[in-house]
Structure 1
Amino acid sequence: MKSTPTLLAASFATTLATAVGMLAFPGCAHGVSSVSRSPASFEVQGHRGARGSRPENTLSAFRFALKAGVDTLEMDLNVTHDDVLVVTHDPALNPKICLAPSGKKITHTILVRGLTLQELKRYDCGTLINPRFPEQVPQPGEPIPTFDELLSWLDTDPDPRARVVRLNVETKSEEAHPEYTPPPEKFSALVLDALKRHHFMERTTLQSFDYRTLVAARALDPAIETSILVEERPSEPLTVLAKRYQGNIISPDHEWLTKSDVEELHQIGVRVIPWTVNTPDAWAKLSSWKIDGIISDNPAALLKFRSTLSKSTETHSRREMPETDP
């Protein structure tokens, strides 16, 4: 998830939003009610599939996460030289997790945007174990998947969970590096086209640190749900950011998020789904704030935590129920 924050062109976003008629702010009028919601009702999102267990952003990682029972598959999109959406985090092939076609280490910068899909498919991004996640199970020879391949897999997988799982898709564009990806309007159009062809619009959230793509997507189709990624605490309130870019969700780094942030965003109808949260202590803290979702590299462990919390909450609720006369 973590990315160098893009320096955003507020004027671009404002102009484009005005051009499409200043779409109504998507938050519900009465806010998101967290008063009656159980702390165990948060959504579990598998970060890059399940990066703690399988090579990130591979079909193997997404299959693992689906089988574990996640609510949402979180992923990243880049674009090849021939304008094919591919599921990978970095604008350049990461030598720590990918091998050259020869099987040797990658020794120079290779931009995804500089390769055709046919060229990109020759790289092995399943053999190497990410040094940050020593428990990963390697998948030798596995290539970077296309977005269409991922959607087609979900279309045809016999697992009934494939019919209901949601997607949280990040456009990995950077305003400071236009050479990395197509312009925001084209990038967004490619994503929406794929989602509509596979009938995934209603099950997908579009997220980005580059808010230009979110505004462009909303201009193309106001129905798309959007999530505003935030790496460093902004100088203005998160509620202002949510309103300016008309986000359904604010997705911040959990390290600096506060309970007050969550409450203020809920009051204006905006959900809060922080990233990337991998420890039980952090899960417990966030769930006590009645967070809407948690993005984690270890979704299987998070699901177990949620299940235990749910049972504990139910037991506590039963104990608090008043006795009635027979």
Structure 2
Amino acid sequence: MTTFPQLDAFRRGPGLIRLVGHRGARGVMPENTMEGFEFTLACGVTLLEFDVAITRDGVPVITHNHHLTRSVARDASGAWLQGEEPKLSALTWDELAQYDVGGLDGQSAYGQRFPDQAYLNGVRIPRLRDLCDLVAQPQHKDVHLMLEIKSDPERLQDATARAEIVAAVIAEVRSAGLTQRTLMHSFDWNLLAECARQAPEMPTSFLTQLPENDADVGEDEATQAGPEITADTYNTLPGLVAEAGGKLWCPYYLDVTADSVLRARELGLIVAVWTVNEPDDIDQMIDLGVDAIVTDYPGRVQRKLLDRGQDWLERG
């Protein structure tokens, strides 16, 4: 398949730069939760980025880290997790559903990054099926998914495990009838090759980050799943993504340049930069002419675009 209708939702146009809600709207709502996704959709944001991992019993769930994180998860008594953080792949779906992920521990380093995030109670890690069911409703027919499959660092080289994870994720998307509204998104280029093999109807989106930019506090490192990248080889990345069959290139916003955006565009790639939160940085990305801005604060990007006479949606 050479044409992908879902790409148009992520491509810029005259007076139009696309807006992607990162993990919903992490800056203001609990990340990767149904409450966060519903809020984001209510704000008129129709592109959702989120992370998927697999439980011990093979259920695709929406969460970023491979462990339940003590700065995010509370037990049945409402207490923050103590001691060793349970691994997602060691828990069944029923066990995982006992934890509350509706807020952040404000004393933790991760919690201090998002002081404006709402604190809710009784919020659970959703299954991929839950989000697909929401998006499949008629009122959300214009919503598209940037689905990032997380690579388990302990199983990076396990081709069988990789194929099983991809198959489980694809089955949920297909069951909901959302293949033409979904991108497969990852730092793991081997995993993306497996996605293209199993689901040629869904385009692949390649995440990259230069190693000198440290991983964010409180988050699992993901860049080790991809190819080795240096400042000297960075400008070759658009070409490598295109050669690998990618349709989107998703660089870390501090890495992107006018030249690299131009090169990507020459190769027919869509450029979606992550994760852009500060007003000056949002302005810079608009000036560079990227196709899409991935952000924890959708409202900030909306305001910037409107102030500059631009939009994030095609208005009928």
Which band: TM-score by shorter chain?
0.7 to 0.9
| Residue 177 of structure 1: aligned partner | 154
Query: Structure 1, residues 69-120: CA drift from partner, whole Å, max 9, x if none?
Result: 1130110001000000000000000110111223222121200110000000
The verdict on how the C-alpha distance between 1:164 and 1:186 changes in structure 2, with shifts beyond 3 A counting, is: same
- Counterpart-to-counterpart distance in 1, 2:37 and 2:3: 32
Q: Is the 8 A contact 2:74 2:99 kept in 1?
A: yes
The more displaced of 300-309 and 223-232 is 300-309
The verdict on how the C-alpha distance between 1:252 and 1:33 changes in structure 2, with shifts beyond 3 A counting, is: closer
| Residue 113 of structure 2: aligned partner | 132
Q: Deviation at 1:179?
A: 8.4
Query: Structure 1, residues 219-278: CA drift from partner, whole Å, max 9, x if none?
Result: 112221111000216243112321332110111110121110000010010111010000
Secondary structure of residue in 2 paired with 1:164: coil
Q: Is structure 2 residue 93 aligned with structure 1 residue 117? A: yes
Q: Deviation at 1:146?
A: 0.3
The verdict on how the C-alpha distance between 1:232 and 1:25 changes in structure 2, with shifts beyond 3 A counting, is: farther
- Counterpart-to-counterpart distance in 2, 1:97 and 1:298: 19
1:157-236 alignment to 2 at 5 Å?
Answer: 160=139, 162-174=140-152, 176-178=153-155, 183-232=161-210, 234-235=229-230, 236=233
Q: Deviation at 1:155?
A: 2.6
Q: Deviation at 1:131?
A: 2.5
- Counterpart-to-counterpart distance in 1, 2:36 and 2:310: 28
RMSD of the alignment, in Å? 2.4
- Counterpart-to-counterpart distance in 1, 2:178 and 2:44: 19
Unpaired segments ≥5 residues, structure 2: 5-9, 106-110, 212-228, 312-316
| Residue 221 of structure 2: aligned partner | none
Q: Deviation at 1:210?
A: 1.1
- Counterpart-to-counterpart distance in 1, 2:310 and 2:31: 31
Matched AA of 1:254: Y
| Residue 308 of structure 2: aligned partner | 309
Secondary structure of residue in 1 paired with 2:204: strand
Q: Deviation at 1:25?
A: 11
Unpaired segments ≥5 residues, structure 1: 1-22, 27-31, 313-326
Aligned with 1:58 (options 12, 17, 33): 33
- Counterpart-to-counterpart distance in 2, 1:109 and 1:94: 6
- Counterpart-to-counterpart distance in 1, 2:208 and 2:156: 23
Q: Is the 8 A contact 2:11 2:291 kept in 1?
A: no
The verdict on how the C-alpha distance between 1:198 and 1:118 changes in structure 2, with shifts beyond 3 A counting, is: same
Secondary structure of residue in 2 paired with 1:229: strand
Q: Deviation at 1:310?
A: 2.3
Q: Is the 8 A contact 2:253 2:276 kept in 1?
A: yes
The verdict on how the C-alpha distance between 1:265 and 1:52 changes in structure 2, with shifts beyond 3 A counting, is: same
| Residue 256 of structure 1: aligned partner | 255
Matched AA of 2:80: K
> How many percent of aligned residue pairs carry the same amino acid?
29
Paired residues, number? 278
Q: Deviation at 1:24?
A: 7.0
Q: Which has the higher contact order (CA 8 A, sep 6+)?
A: 1
| Residue 153 of structure 1: aligned partner | 134
Q: TM-score, normalised by structure 2?
A: 0.82
